[in-house]
Structure 1
């Protein structure tokens, strides 16, 4: 075992257990909180042992103790949550004899487990620790040789890949260098840099060099960077190595999984633990440990991956400490009976059937399973019944400890009716599963923090969904809910909700004041829309907002707007509906970076106002947003604008750009603007030339003129438009 990983895991597990003991089913009962104080002290002691790991026969023994403690506390928390589910309010107010016995039994069990390491003799430990030291060294050197052999598998940053080699340059050689970090608070740290070059002399050698040009073993270099990280960062990186190699990962998905797994400390004074996780993610990106592979339109990260050389280095370590288990052979389950049990299972659907049918499945105990993640790709219309088989096996146990169920991308998985029995579940990811319904018991998942049914056919949820006290992220697929959200005041993401007059804004939505992302489609009267906007103006933490106004036939209708200037954190604004007028500059949130207008039916040129928004990076004027013939970008306007889209503006004929306007523009996308005569020459020949021009469904004459007039360094893309591309609503949000 590698002690560094054990310590990181200990910090993460102890932190998760502290958070578990601070959850509402326990904290609402003050007597129980008092009874559990010895357990919290034991957790502090357990983490302290990890600091003195050299004193005992640690690694395997310590991990076993750590896992046993986690099992007992999480089982206790599960039973408390189940009791609260059964008895409701009474369970919060009364401390029954059963509760007292449960607390005392937990304390006795923790004390007995802790004695396994607290009484270890130093002399015996020193001898065994020395043996483990040699074992660790052998393992490190083995990993180094393996890394050297696999080093050609590293992810290639686009900016550093050399051009295709000539015939006399046969081999790609990578060097690993380091540079001081630019941020003031990270001056002592260095950033991992991977560069590539073709070198004929080194045709059969893959090498690593330090900044002085001396050869270094990749294991040594990576070990140095990894050792400098804090324990939470190490654990997050180890977890990241469970994702398939060289596969892009949604940043949204990764951050929510880190939260659900309990890898980051939740501070009482910090209302948004997502901010802490985001900061940790950004630090790892700054250090070169995580690579950004795709950006959003505003240049924020959308997709990422772990550099494959790091994955080769970290994945064996993560599996050695039992952080996760990757099942790769459907006919073999021997390795699933590890001493720590399988706590996180990762595999595709082709192997899931083995969990229920293979003879080794009988030895696999799913009761210890905390996380199940699938990276399966949809197989046409084949239903993933195997998922239901696995979940039924888990639910049949008296205690279910599953915290994460991530089936994103699995085609139509089967979910059991008793899904609500998973009282510890925090993350239920069903995006792009194309499910058409959820079990009614989903409303019983009292600890659920993330429910994502976006891009599914689910059109209803049980009313009890609003009673989930811990729910933070609710991503829907245009679902109208019968009951107002009267209890879920913890929500920070509410996307895909459909509103009508049946849901009073003041009584329901008015309680949600911590939202950072909001996407609503509504059929409301002018008066009700005004009340909706009054509530939105109070959401001072809001960062992303999408509003769609429709009539009783589902056709886009009038959208009533009020001042949004109070939303100082708002960066993404998407307005879909007919506007009587464009808001004045003083009514706009001045920090907006991405603005999308669709079906606005504006007759007056909006560019004079929009050009004065100081932070605007992306502007999308989509289908029928502007009905006039001429737009003018005034002098000095759009200082920071980088991306501009004109889609389906049938009346637009003339477009003028004055001096010093749009000087930062890099990408221009024009679609189905059939009457537009030309692109202003000032844009085509500006000092900082356009990087990309994308023309879709434009006339041949228009394309020919642009091809002749554009700068030599500007890329021109001509796309024939198919039906799937006609998206007049812009981005679909989170």
Structure 2
């Protein structure tokens, strides 16, 4: 990551030296000296070849070096902001100040270079002590404000490579869990990733970092929501303490909207339902701005979801957009804003624009000026009637997420050949042919799909050999219109997620051949039980959602035999006709962690053998039939033995009209 920052900063310095050729000799000399110093420092050692103590020392050096580099970047930003469009006397004074600051930064870099050379030559006494250490920790390891209980976690945190610490610190900024996809897109836009050989997809690197933190037990996948992540509590507390002590990621962090340090690059503001007040954003070289609403505990009126928040509540943030010249990330997810200024198109460095759950009537045509935009997220229920034609100018766009309502997408979307995600797209004449150009797609979600699209759609999808997620949704889910089976169809080999929403005569043969499939959602398919039971042979399936997919009255033990669904962790069933599930054989469903019945209004019996599914952590029934409620009660319920081993049970009582525990 540090090496990538150096390369990027060197490119910027080279451009600035050319652009400012008429600037003062002193300033030109400072620019050149800084460039020479960074080139002298050169490449960075890899992580894999170092011993534990060396890794820790180099991580500390890298963190300090990155901080110095960002101070240099701040200084350059201030120069660009203050000198342009000002008179000569002001410019001269600013240049003197900037030269002084750059001289101090150069001295810090010289010291950093010397320190790095010493680290390469010989281990320090601290390192020698660490070489002889066993699993015990020194008193230096317990520096989290005296919380000795955190010492093992603190040590593990310290031993993380710097890029993983950066990723972890970033995750900890979000007050609640965050979706994996959103986190990946933000990490790429923020630049919080390590340098890799050219050609590697940055989203893959972000996924690897997340998976490594999950594998080490530092990030946790929320049960039942494989796409949502949260920082495990001990590490979350450590991250808060580290930020309080001044440890940053690739940029400085601040969450207090009334006090922005001059060096703040990444701003988090929490909206609590009233007017946001901030100090001026002027002259702050902000790179990322997140406004996060707190909808918990009724702090924000529910009508804002539909009507949008009052414009005056975020007026100071809105007006600040005029001045945020260097903004790369603007994240207003869930803020429910009603409008964006025309000047949004002036944010030419913007890489991420998150407007999910906004209530915008339109998006300005000026969005076409955002030539560096990677993510445009406008998902939600009430969003613009159409996309402006300017969106076709966004040739760097990698993720385009469209709203649930049917909006008009301009013809020619096939020109956006860098797209990796395209969701919420309603089919129209000619658009399937345009999809054939989008061969880099990894996630595709199409709506208004019908039988007549079968052969053409099949041909287009088979060109997307890197596709990981596919969703096809019919226009009328509860009508007789059929989804296409896409026969003959050879699905792209790496698809992990598949969603088919619409009536099917039978389950397509190609579904059962998808060995990489980890998540399958079938909705309004109205299939017979025998068609659904073949899914248990999918070797890697972890999540199965059956939403009116199999409208039978009784689920038998044939639904899941011993050895079937070997990796299934989450099973969600929604059915208006289901009366009972008769039996689960002992040894079946060996990995099941969550079982949810949703809108199974007539369900009267849980299966015999549920007591043998010892891995089950969560059982949810929404709602719970009154007769079944009586039989499941812990104080005398005849069938309580089936569920008493489950740690977490959530039921919505249809008789009491409230959530209960049994």
**Is the deviation greater in 598-607 or in 447-456?**
598-607
Deviations 1:460-510, CA, capped at 9 Å, x for gaps: 211221331111111221334132412211111111111122x3312x111
**Is the deviation greater in 668-677 or in 375-384?**
668-677
The match for 1:492 is 420
The match for 1:210 is none
Q: 1:436 to 1:679 in 2, by over 3 A?
A: same
Partner Cα distance (1:641, 1:120) in 2: 54
Q: What SS does structure 2 have at the residue aligned with 1:312?
A: helix
Q: What SS does structure 2 have at the residue aligned with 1:254?
A: helix
**What is the Cα deviation at residue 230 of structure 1?**
3.3
1:719 maps onto 2:652 in alignment:
yes
1:576 maps onto 2:519 in alignment:
no
The match for 1:233 is 164
Partner Cα distance (1:555, 1:627) in 2: 18
**What is the Cα deviation at residue 113 of structure 1?**
8.7
Q: 1:325 to 1:618 in 2, by over 3 A?
A: closer
5 Å matches for 1:61-76?
64-69=71-76
Q: What SS does structure 2 have at the residue aligned with 1:670?
A: strand
Partner Cα distance (1:578, 1:61) in 2: 60
Deviations 1:579-604, CA, capped at 9 Å, x for gaps: 12112267541221221111112246
Q: What SS does structure 2 have at the residue aligned with 1:258?
A: helix
**What is the Cα deviation at residue 692 of structure 1?**
4.2
The match for 1:645 is 572
Deviations 1:549-600, CA, capped at 9 Å, x for gaps: 115x996831012366533322221110011211226754122122111111
* Contact 1:571/1:593 (<8 A) preserved: yes
1:348 maps onto 2:279 in alignment:
no
Q: What SS does structure 1 have at the residue aligned with 2:391?
A: helix
* Contact 1:543/1:569 (<8 A) preserved: yes
1:278 maps onto 2:207 in alignment:
yes
**Is the deviation greater in 419-428 or in 567-576?**
567-576
Partner Cα distance (1:12, 1:226) in 2: 23
Partner Cα distance (1:464, 1:231) in 2: 39
Deviations 1:616-641, CA, capped at 9 Å, x for gaps: 22222212543576653264322222
**Is the deviation greater in 671-680 or in 661-670?**
671-680
Partner Cα distance (1:544, 1:622) in 2: 19
Q: 1:515 aligns with which of 436, 441, 460?
A: 441
Q: 1:256 aligns with which of 177, 185, 210?
A: 185
**What is the Cα deviation at residue 394 of structure 1?**
4.3
Q: What SS does structure 1 have at the residue aligned with 2:517?
A: coil
* Contact 1:371/1:402 (<8 A) preserved: yes
The match for 1:148 is 145
The match for 2:134 is none
1:562 maps onto 2:489 in alignment:
no
Q: 1:642 to 1:349 in 2, by over 3 A?
A: closer
**What is the Cα deviation at residue 292 of structure 1?**
2.2
Partner Cα distance (2:381, 2:517) in 1: 30
Q: 1:649 to 1:21 in 2, by over 3 A?
A: farther
Deviations 1:613-672, CA, capped at 9 Å, x for gaps: 111222222125435766532643222223333312426666555675434444433345
Partner Cα distance (1:653, 1:242) in 2: 45
The match for 2:287 is 370
Q: What SS does structure 1 have at the residue aligned with 2:483?
A: coil
The match for 1:130 is none
The match for 1:435 is 360
1:482 maps onto 2:410 in alignment:
yes
* Contact 2:584/2:610 (<8 A) preserved: no
Partner Cα distance (1:558, 1:673) in 2: 24
1:708 maps onto 2:638 in alignment:
yes
* Contact 2:478/2:524 (<8 A) preserved: no
The match for 2:379 is 454
Partner Cα distance (1:40, 1:584) in 2: 63
**What is the Cα deviation at residue 416 of structure 1?**
0.7
1:45 maps onto 2:42 in alignment:
no
Partner Cα distance (1:660, 1:452) in 2: 44
* Contact 1:241/1:314 (<8 A) preserved: no
1:14 maps onto 2:14 in alignment:
no
Partner Cα distance (2:438, 2:14) in 1: 23
5 Å matches for 1:267-416?
267=196, 269-287=198-216, 290-292=218-220, 294-298=222-226, 301-304=228-231, 307-318=236-247, 323-329=252-258, 336=261, 338=262, 340=263, 342-349=264-271, 354-355=277-278, 361=280, 364-366=281-283, 368-377=285-294, 379-380=300-301, 381=304, 382-385=309-312, 387=314, 389-395=316-322, 400-412=325-337, 414-416=339-341
Query: What do you get for the CA RMSD once the two structures are aligned?
Result: 4.7
* Contact 2:604/2:627 (<8 A) preserved: no
Number of residues of Structure 1 aligned to a counterpart in Structure 2: 566
The match for 2:50 is none
Partner Cα distance (1:533, 1:18) in 2: 47
The match for 1:542 is 467
1:467 maps onto 2:393 in alignment:
yes
Q: What SS does structure 1 have at the residue aligned with 2:372?
A: coil
Deviations 1:150-172, CA, capped at 9 Å, x for gaps: x4xxxxxxxxxxxxxxxxxxxxx
Deviations 1:406-434, CA, capped at 9 Å, x for gaps: 11222326421121111100011112333
Partner Cα distance (1:672, 1:60) in 2: 53
**What is the Cα deviation at residue 390 of structure 1?**
3.9
Partner Cα distance (1:390, 1:672) in 2: 42
* Contact 1:549/1:577 (<8 A) preserved: yes
Q: 1:677 to 1:376 in 2, by over 3 A?
A: closer
* Contact 2:358/2:383 (<8 A) preserved: no
Structure 1 segments unaligned to the other structure (5+ residues)? 1-7, 27-37, 79-108, 127-142, 152-173, 179-191, 193-221, 726-734
Q: 2:432 aligns with which of 494, 505, 509?
A: 505
Q: What SS does structure 2 have at the residue aligned with 1:264?
A: coil
Deviations 1:416-463, CA, capped at 9 Å, x for gaps: 112111110001111233334322222321111111112251132112
**What is the Cα deviation at residue 69 of structure 1?**
4.5
Q: 2:597 aligns with which of 670, 681, 692?
A: 670
1:532 maps onto 2:465 in alignment:
no
Q: 1:388 to 1:420 in 2, by over 3 A?
A: farther
TM-score using structure 2 length: 0.71
* Contact 1:565/1:590 (<8 A) preserved: no
